[in-house]
Each structure stands twice: as C-alpha cells, then as structure tokens.
Structure 1
Amino acid sequence: MSEDQKKQLEQQLWNIANTLRGKMDADEFRDYILGFIFYKYLSERMELFANEILKQDKLSFNAINSQMADANEFLEAIKEEALEKLGYFLKPEELFSAVAIRGNSDDDSEQNSTNFILGDLQKILTNIQLSTMGTASEEDFDNLFEDMDLNSTKLGKTPEARNTIIAKVMAHLDKIDFRLEETGLDVLGDAYEYLIGQFASGAGKKAGEFYTPQEVSKILAKLVTVGKHKLKSVYDPTCGSGSLLLRVAREVKDVGNFYGQEMNRTTYNLARMNMILHGIHYRKFDIKQDDTLERPQHLGQTFEAIVANPPFSAQWSANPLFTSDDRFSQFGKLAPSSKADFAFVQHMIYHLAENGTMAIVLPHGVLFRGGAELHIRKYLIEQKNFLDAVIGLPANIFYGTSIPTCILVFKKCRENPDNVLFIDASKGFEKVKTQNILRDEHIDQIIETYGNRTVTEKYSYNATLQEIAENDYNLNIPRYVDTFEEEEEIDIQAVMLEIKQLEAKRAELDIEIDVYFKELGLIF
C-alpha cells in the first residue's frame, strides 16, 4: 500500500468517526468508532481463519447455516481451533459484514424485525466475550466492549435513531478493505494508531491519560533497543492505549512478551484491543488494570526493556508501609506524596533486568528538586550507578501541557560506567501551528548521539561522576551542556557616532518643521 493510499484510508476512517460524533466528547465517540473497527477486525480475522480450515471441504464460512445437516459439527470444530489460535469465536451470522448488511437492508416493510440490529449487535459483542469463558484468553477479552453502550441517548434519543446511525457507520466501515490476508501489511494497525492520535489531539489534557506523541514514543523505543535485534520482554507500567509498547516492537525483529498496567478502565480496554488488532497473540501480552504504584500486578518479574510516560508529578499515597516494599526499601526514602515521579523510577528500576534498558519521560523538576528526590537521585548515581543518560526535550510537544520534559535512561550494567551522557535536544523541533514537532532528523540526532556517546559543542557532553557529585547531584542540563551563545561585540564608538548623526539630523528636521508651522501661523 502506497503512502497516499494509507493516508486516504486514514482520512476515510476519520470521516466515518465524525459521523458518530454528534454532541459527544472526543473520548466518548472514540470508544464507539474504535470498538466498531475492532469488531470488524475480529470478524474478518475469524472469517479468514475459518475459510482456511474449510478449504479442504470446499466450503466458505459464510455458507454455513442452520439448514445444513452438519452445520453444528463444522462450527464446533472451527470453534475449538479458533479459541486455541485466535482466542475467541464468532458464528457466520455474527460477523460484522452480515450484521452491516442486515442493518442496511433496502426492504423497509419489516423495519423492526429486519433492519433493527441494536439487540443483535449487543448480544454479539457479549457473545465474543462469553466464547472465551474458561479458556486461556478469558482475561484478555473480559468486558472488552463495556464502553460501547448501544443504548446511550448520546447516539440518538430513540432506539430507531440509534439504530440508524449505527447501521450507517457499519455500512461505511464494511466498504473498507483492511487487507488482513496480506500478512506483511499492518494497514489496520497503522490506521488504528492514526485514529488514536487524532482523538488525542482533540482531547486536550485528557490525552495524556492514554497517548504519548508518536515522535516521543519513537525516541523511547529506539533508546531501549540500541544494539538489540530481539527482546525477551517489554514492559510499560503506565501503558495507556499500549501504543508505546507496540512502538518498541517496531524497532526489533521480535518481542517475546508484552507487559503493561493501566489504571483507567476505558484506556485499559483500548490497550487490549490495540494489542489484538496489531496481531499480538493473546498468549504474548499481559495487560493488567490497576494503580501501578499502589497495587502493582507484576511483582517479582523483570523485563529486558521498560518504557514509560507516566502522569507528570502525580499524587500518590507515599504510605509509610511502602518503606518495606522491595521496590522502595533499598533507597531509604519514598518520593513525596505530591510528586510521584521518582516513585515510578524506583518501580521501574525494581522491574529492570540486569541486561535491560529503561527510558522514562519526566518533568524537568526531577533533575534538580531537593529533599527526598535529591536523596533518591544521589543513591541511583553514587551507590548504584544506574543512570546512563539525561536528554532534554523541547517544550510544548505533549498534548495538554506545554512544559519542557526530559528523558532519563537507566541501565543496571552500563557499558560506560565512568560518565553520564547529557543531551540538550530542546532546540531541535519544528513549530506546526500551536504544537512543537520532532522530525526524523531531530530524533536521529538524539539516537545517534546516545548510541555513540558523541560529545558535540552546545548539544551533548559526557559528565564524569565526580562532576555530578561536585554539582551536588543536580542534573540540570545547562550545568553540563554549555548552550550560552556569545553576543556580537558592540562598537561603542560607532554607536556614539551614529547617535550624534541622528541628533544632527533631528535638529535639521526641527528647523524644517518650524518653517512650516510659521507659514500656518502656528507655534512649533
């Protein structure tokens, strides 16, 4: 698929999404359109899978119906294999295309029985989940469609109005070919990511709850995969829609398993959909829903790559009981309750494998704030020597906040244990409307500088541990990367001469003006 075709598909989907919008907020109609796209994906994948099984019988999945003598036998055999390989099952009459056709029938004579699909559709979405009960994929499909309330008055005041708009959306989606049979393409996955990004751009501050801008995701993903072609595991403790985890997978040939935790229930559902829709087998991802700091779900596990864009300076309990928690106990201090930034760092360090790399986006305050944060910072550098790099990013690159941010990179086994690399990438961006955007050349410069630990005047510097100690473990980037631009020397004599010449010119003009005023009988 060409780039133009890809953009055309993305625009088609966005136009269909706006059919649903009405008076709904961006995050509300997002849940519906992404849910419908996901249902279409499950249907098409089910149909392709079943057709492959039925090939030897010279049958298509759509052809199986209740009138066939051995219909149940076929369906049970397909269901058994589908639950093992796909993790779910749909009957032929439950497929997206079948429901879309029923909802858009030209025969209006039996409107209530033929065209009315709301009841069937709600049952089908429930049946997808029920088909997984008692199987290995049960948790991954549990309440996956709970945010798609087809009886919501936001879709229409009456059931008929809701039915009409849903049937219309399904008809439009049914015409789009996601080309799932072309295994080398991830057309639908890319389109899904595009839509999530579009919703984020319209969601303002809420966007930070579920989406990391693509260019930042790309930097984090590249940082944790430098020099690697395969990863045993990748983990995101604040995984949002799962886009950051999937971005890491693009940077290597293979990722063994994906792990994540997300506090928001709706976003957690979105993350699971995103994983499945990108072809990640249900046995290869483990996404949990809960508060990562207060109730971690992956204790005792370590991961080769860890990435995170946690909520900046969020509040947390800082419960004194956590001082005996393995994640925090060795530090002797907890992050302050008003700023959980270092609590996320400590949590991630605990989960980092000995051969792993972690990269986390944080506000600049973590570089220089005192108190408990200084104590933790000092311990990580002086006692553990885990900090590998500090990267300053431009301001105004995140949705919902214009503050400048930084990326901290940590490793337990560092190749360069004698220094910490500082990169000032704050000026490498392009302004697009009200947002600052990182282009590929800006990203490449950051990654190449990190990978080679290059020292570039006014951009990067390898600071020794002694230098950092002498700065009392203050990591503020200007202390290490001199970005001061000398101003051109001013020739005082030339300036004075120019001022005298201007004064003389003004005196001449005053005489001319005075003559004009006298001619008019006025006093200048």
Structure 2
Amino acid sequence: MTDDINFITKTKQLIDGLKSVCANYGLGNDGNEFKIITQVFLYKFLNDKFRYAVKLEKPSLVNDEKNFSQALKDLPEGEYQFLLASLDPNIPRLQPEHLMSHLHGAQNSGDFAKLFDDTLRQISIENADVFSVKSSTGAKDILFDELSNFISDSSQRDAFCKALINKLFEFSFEEMFKQKYDFFATIFEYLIKDYNTDSGGKYAEYYTPHAVARIMAKIMVPNPVKGVKCYDPSAGSGTLLMSLAHEIGEENCTIYSEDISQKSSNMLRLNLVLNNLTHSIPNIIKTNTIAQPSYLDSKFDYIVSNPPFKLDFSDFHGDLGKDIFKQRFFAGIPKIKAKDKDKMEIYLLFIQHIMHTLSENGKAAIVVPTGFITAQKGIEKKIRERLITNGWLRGVVSMPSNIFASTGTNVSVLFLDKKTDNQHIVLMDASKLGDTIKEGKNQRTVLSTAEEDKIISTFNQKEAIEDLSVVVSKEEIEAKNYSFSAGQYFEVKIEYIEITAEEFGNKMQTFENNLAGLFAEGNTLDQKIQKQLKGLLYE
C-alpha cells in the first residue's frame, strides 16, 4: 500500500511538472494545454511500456535509460524485427530513435523542436492501426499533434520541447508495471480533472462519479463472464466502460464506444491504454450516435451509458424520422422546443438506441433523470411500458441528490436484462444514503464503501428492506401505471397504541380544553382587529 501511494504521488508530481512547463511558456489554462499534457503523458507511458515489454523478451539488454536506445540500435536488423514481432499486439512498435532516451541525448542538436515533432509523427504513422481513433467515415486521427507549434514564438520552441523531455525523463512507469498496481483510474482522473468539465458548450462532458460506475458494474456482473462485447453510446472519457471492464476482466471483454466529442474520444483512448485495453482502441468511433450511428446494426452483451439528458438536436431532428430510424425510435422523437431548444430530451433517444442494440442475452445500465421513472404520459411512459411488456426490466436504483457535483438533477439507474426474472423486479430508493460534502462551488453527496456494498448486495440478492427497496412483479408495475419509483410500492404502516377508557377520556378532555383556550384567544384577537379598523381615519 505504501508503494502504491508513493507511485500515485510521483505520477501526480509528473503531471504537475508538465503543467508547470506549459505555464512557464505561456500555455497555462490555454486551450491547447490539454492536448500537450495528455499527449506527452501518453508518449511517456508508451515509451516505458515498450521498454518494459522488450526487457521481458530480451533480459540481456541494459537497464539504464541512457544506453537503452543504443543497445537496441546495436541489434542486427533481423533480430530487431523478430523482437518486435514477438511483442504482444497491444504494445506499441517503436524504433530506437523513437525512444525518450534518444531524444534526451539529442538535446544539443539543432532544431530540437522539429526532431521532437517528427519523432511523435513517425510513432503515430507506424502505430495507426492500433492506436488511432476513427470517425464515422472511417478516417483515422493522428496519435500526436505537432506540439511545438502551440508555442507562438518560434524562438522558444526548442527550449519548450527540451523542458518537456527533461520532466518526462526524470520519471519511470516501469516499476508500476512490475508490481501490477491497479490505480490508473485515480491517475487518469487527476490527469484530466482540469479539462473534463461541464463548461464546454453544447456537447459538454459530465464525469460519472466512480461510486455510480462501480455500483452499475457490480450489479451488472454478479457472476464471471468471458468473451463479451461491451458498449457505451455516449462514452465520454470512459469511466463507466473502465469500471465494467475491470469487473468483467480486461482479457474477457472487448470495448466499443461512440461519442460526438473529439476531446472525449482522445481521453477514452488514453484511458484504454492506461487500463490494459489497447486492443479496443480501433473500436472507438467519433460520431453522432443518434444521427450517424456506426454500430446501428451491431448487438452488444453489456451496455452502459450516462447520456446527456437535455440538448439542442434541432439541426438533425428532421433526419430522425427517416425509415432507417423508425424501428429504433419506437416510442417517438422529442419535439423541438421553440423557446428552449437546449432542453430537448435527447436522453430518451439514447434509451431507445440502447434497447435496439442489446444482444439476445443483453444487459444494460442507464443513468436517467429520476423524473423519467414516474412520468404519466409521452415517450417516457411508452418506453417504460415496452420494458415491462418485453420483460426486460431487472430493476431501478434512485440515487441520492447531488451524486453528480456538476448537476443538481436527481438521477436513477435503469438496469435492463433480456433474460431477467420479471416476477422479482427490484426497485430501490437510495436517496437517503450518503454524506454531503463541499466540492468547489458545488455540493456533492458521497456514498461510503458500506453504503455502496449495501446497494449492490440488496439489489443482487433481491432483498426487500423497509424504506430502501421493494421486490415487485411485472403485474404489480402494470397496476401502478408503470411507475418505476420504489416509494409508490412501500407499505404504508399505521402504528396502534392500546390505551384504557380512562386514558382516552383524559386525552379527549385535554384536547377540548386546549381548543376552548384557542377559540377564546381567537375571539379576543377578532375584537382587537375590529376595534383597530374602526379607529382608522382618512387623511
């Protein structure tokens, strides 16, 4: 545990050091700082991952950083190519001149910024098949930008790139790979905490709390599974997918995702690399999932989603009525709001999309505004009716208020399962759990580990607990007008206390005396008010 904390601290210091370099060259809080920090961090991680993998294959190579690239250069060409071919497909393929040790030793050469950019560009080209994010058209992005160009003053570019390399060179991930520490979720959250906010305009990302992600994953995967396809149609930076993959086992699943944001797609790529899911990077698609889905005809075993709740989609609203989409949006398409376009309920389209892409044995967990589970008409009710009619609803957990610091909307999680027992549907009201903490300008509710475990075990064991959960049948939900709210099924209890006739008489006499006193006081006040009114004069 001490080593674990030590490595986390050192990694955070590296991130802070890179941010300090950006600040020293006028890029602190600049729009391009995000690209610089995340991309050089990724380069460092890939560099160390490659070094570690090569040393496992060829232990005779020197261990010191400075001479490692030279040792690779000294290998016969055929032997080096054989070495690359023997590496796991998820390991980047680097040439000796791509290594950080080579760049570190070449700092005195002229035009270092160009050497730096050329190196990253070459790594991008040679590893595009595994590490590139695709768009819906099939076009691949580049793994690295020409980072030196973000410095407007060309005379400072060499110094800037040298400062980055020197910060990276002081640190190594290799000890982490040896110990197999599982703390990269913590590192990733720290790395992007300044860049993954809800201030990004139309397609803002909302970071899903780890507690919610863990609860969703552990409820979805109560038993071991293998060889499954996992999908998120609004993936963001991938918090939900990472929790799901950890629960299933990275080697037992393949990740698929769609998101309209280029920034989110790049964050997700980094998250996959850090979490040993590099093999799934080719399945990341940057696209508009609703209007231009890449996986429309695909079916997935596990689907997780925290979709945007309300968004202006009027610019492609008309296209959604085409025949190609009609089967998918069976319950309808939210109308364009003339005055509040940004409040169009796009999450209803995501729910229908998820239902459409579930495999024959598929399971899903979807974050929705709590108002969805009780709406008495419209698309919301049609979706709930279909879930009950099909027998797909496994249960619902209504979360505490402010579980998301970035939004005050109360949220619930729908759990779908095409093979569920529809006579034992779990409805849970966890709104009273958690403690409220201050987080910046916002308040957020934090669940303890014990509370998380209680939610998970109660749901998976189908327990009915007073004021927390009920277990109901499909028919009972139909009788309640398809309400998914646990509170509407809680038993109303009336407590009875036995008293004697004498005690009853005494209580009634006390009530009469109190009422007589109140009536008398009221009469006195009436008289005073009337007297005051008569004394009013017009002047």
TM score, norm. by length of structure 2: 0.77
Which one-letter code corresponds to 1:215 in the other structure? Answer: A
Which one-letter code corresponds to 2:301 in the other structure? Answer: E
After superposition, residues 151-162 of structure 1 pair within 5 angstroms as 151-153=149-151, 157-162=152-157
1:428 to 429, 433, 437: 433
Structure 1 residue 315: Cα displacement: 3.7
The 1:234/1:418 distance shift into structure 2, 3 A limit, reads same
Residues in 1 aligned to 2:127 and 2:326: alpha-carbon distance in whole angstroms: 35
Which one-letter code corresponds to 1:378 in the other structure? Answer: E
Number of residue pairs the alignment of both structures matches: 476
Structure 1 residue 39: Cα displacement: 0.1
1:44 to 32, 48, 58: 48
Residues in 2 aligned to 1:191 and 1:162: alpha-carbon distance in whole angstroms: 32
Structure 1 residue 307: Cα displacement: 0.6
Contact 2:232 2:241 (8 Å CA) reproduced: yes
Structure 1 residue 16: Cα displacement: 1.9
The 1:211/1:13 distance shift into structure 2, 3 A limit, reads farther
Residue by residue, what CA displacement relative to the aligned partner does 1:67-118 show, whole Å, maximum 9, x if unpaired? Answer: x5x7544544445556x72464322222123324544xxxxxx6xx35x532
After superposition, residues 298-337 of structure 1 pair within 5 angstroms as 298-316=295-313, 317-319=316-318, 322=321, 324-325=323-324, 328-329=327-328, 331=330, 333-336=332-335
Which one-letter code corresponds to 2:482 in the other structure? Answer: Y
The secondary structure found in structure 1 opposite 2:436 is strand
Structure 1 residue 49: Cα displacement: 3.2
Give identity over the alignment, percent: 22
2:414 to 408, 413, 417: 408
The corresponding residue for 1:475 is 484
1:176 to 171, 191, 194: 171
The corresponding residue for 1:125 is 120
Residue by residue, what CA displacement relative to the aligned partner does 1:464-507 show, whole Å, maximum 9, x if unpaired? Answer: 33332233223344323479999xxxx9969x99xx9xxxxxxx
The 1:339/1:33 distance shift into structure 2, 3 A limit, reads same
The secondary structure found in structure 1 opposite 2:308 is coil
For the aligned residues, what is the CA RMSD? 3.6
Residue by residue, what CA displacement relative to the aligned partner does 1:327-368 show, whole Å, maximum 9, x if unpaired? Answer: 735835334452122211111112222323100111123223
The 1:293/1:168 distance shift into structure 2, 3 A limit, reads same
Contact 2:401 2:409 (8 Å CA) reproduced: yes
The secondary structure found in structure 2 opposite 1:358 is strand
1:296 aligns with 2:303: no
The secondary structure found in structure 2 opposite 1:124 is helix
Contact 2:8 2:187 (8 Å CA) reproduced: no
Residue by residue, what CA displacement relative to the aligned partner does 1:287-337 show, whole Å, maximum 9, x if unpaired? Answer: 111011111112332222111111112343444654634673583533445
1:240 aligns with 2:236: yes
Structure 1 residue 385: Cα displacement: 2.0
Contact 2:94 2:123 (8 Å CA) reproduced: yes
After superposition, residues 143-158 of structure 1 pair within 5 angstroms as 143-146=141-144, 149-153=147-151, 157-158=152-153
The corresponding residue for 2:265 is 268
Residue by residue, what CA displacement relative to the aligned partner does 1:214-253 show, whole Å, maximum 9, x if unpaired? Answer: 1121122112212234451211111112232121122134
The 1:405/1:72 distance shift into structure 2, 3 A limit, reads same
Contact 1:75 1:91 (8 Å CA) reproduced: no
The 1:344/1:226 distance shift into structure 2, 3 A limit, reads same
1:453 aligns with 2:462: yes
The secondary structure found in structure 2 opposite 1:150 is helix
The secondary structure found in structure 2 opposite 1:209 is coil
The corresponding residue for 1:18 is 19
Which one-letter code corresponds to 1:177 in the other structure? Answer: S
The secondary structure found in structure 2 opposite 1:298 is coil
Moved more, 57-66 or 279-288: 57-66
Residue by residue, what CA displacement relative to the aligned partner does 1:435-466 show, whole Å, maximum 9, x if unpaired? Answer: 22222122111111110111111111123333
The corresponding residue for 1:352 is 358
The 1:37/1:330 distance shift into structure 2, 3 A limit, reads closer
Residues in 2 aligned to 1:435 and 1:332: alpha-carbon distance in whole angstroms: 34
The 1:377/1:187 distance shift into structure 2, 3 A limit, reads closer
1:341 aligns with 2:347: yes
After superposition, residues 58-77 of structure 1 pair within 5 angstroms as 61-64=68-71, 72-77=77-82
Which one-letter code corresponds to 1:357 in the other structure? Answer: K
Contact 1:231 1:255 (8 Å CA) reproduced: yes
Residues in 1 aligned to 2:145 and 2:206: alpha-carbon distance in whole angstroms: 15
Residues in 2 aligned to 1:9 and 1:484: alpha-carbon distance in whole angstroms: 56
The corresponding residue for 2:102 is 98
The corresponding residue for 1:212 is 208
Residues in 2 aligned to 1:76 and 1:359: alpha-carbon distance in whole angstroms: 45
Residue by residue, what CA displacement relative to the aligned partner does 1:96-144 show, whole Å, maximum 9, x if unpaired? Answer: 23324544xxxxxx6xx35x532112111111121136x5666679434
Residues in 1 aligned to 2:464 and 2:72: alpha-carbon distance in whole angstroms: 69
Structure 1 residue 159: Cα displacement: 2.9
Residues in 1 aligned to 2:448 and 2:146: alpha-carbon distance in whole angstroms: 36
Which one-letter code corresponds to 2:245 in the other structure? Answer: A
Contact 2:334 2:379 (8 Å CA) reproduced: yes
Residues in 2 aligned to 1:295 and 1:257: alpha-carbon distance in whole angstroms: 22
Which one-letter code corresponds to 2:293 in the other structure? Answer: P
The 1:385/1:279 distance shift into structure 2, 3 A limit, reads same
The secondary structure found in structure 1 opposite 2:150 is coil
The 1:30/1:437 distance shift into structure 2, 3 A limit, reads farther
The 1:58/1:26 distance shift into structure 2, 3 A limit, reads closer
- Which sections of structure 1, spanning at least 5 residues, go unmatched? 104-109, 501-524
1:31 aligns with 2:35: yes
Moved more, 467-476 or 22-31: 22-31
Contact 2:261 2:286 (8 Å CA) reproduced: yes
The secondary structure found in structure 1 opposite 2:35 is helix
Structure 1 residue 427: Cα displacement: 1.8
The corresponding residue for 2:223 is 227
Structure 1 residue 40: Cα displacement: 0.6
